[in-house]
Amino acid sequence: MAFDAAFYKTVLPERVAQECKASPKLLPVVNLLLADGHILDLCHILHLADTWLVVQYFRDVQTCQDMDVAFLPYELVSMVTVSLRHPGNRKIGFQQVQDPSLARGMAAKATA
C-alpha cells in the first residue's frame, strides 16, 4: 500500500510536530526514499492530489540553498523517514507550512 494524501496531511505532520516538541532546538529532516533508490530531502510538500504529490527538495543538503521541485506518484515513495538534526550541522529543515498561493500555482500548472 502506498503512502497517500491522508498520510501526508495527517500522519506525517503529527509525527514531525511530535519530534519537534520533544527536541525544540533541533531541525526536522524528512526524507522520501523512492522505489528507484533516489532519496529526496524535503523542504516542503507543495501539493497533494488524488494519485500524486508535488514536493520541493534540497538539491544540496549541505548548504540547503538550491532546491528542485518533483512531481511524484504516491506509489514511487517506498519509505518516509523523520529525523532531527542540530542547527550547526544543517541550516534549514523540513517546513510543514508553505505559502498556499505557491502550492495552488504549482498545482494549476500541473493540471493545465
Q: What is the pLDDT of residues 9-39, one digit of tens each?
A: 999 999 999 999 999 999 999 999 999 999 9
Specify the number of domains making up the chain.
1
What values do phi and psi take at 23, rounded to 5? -140, 75
| Radius of gyration for the chain, computed over Cα atoms and rounded to the nearest angstrom | 14
Expressed as residue numbers, the domain containing 74 is: 5-111
Place of cell 505559502: 99
CB 72 within 8 Å of CB 55: yes
The Cα–Cα gap between 85 and 74 comes to 26
The Cα–Cα gap between 29 and 42 comes to 7
Q: Please tell me whether the overall predicted TM-score, pTM, comes out greater than 0.85 for this model.
A: no
CB 8 within 8 Å of CB 91: no
Q: Residue 106 — very low, low, confident or very high, per pLDDT cuts 50/70/90?
A: very low
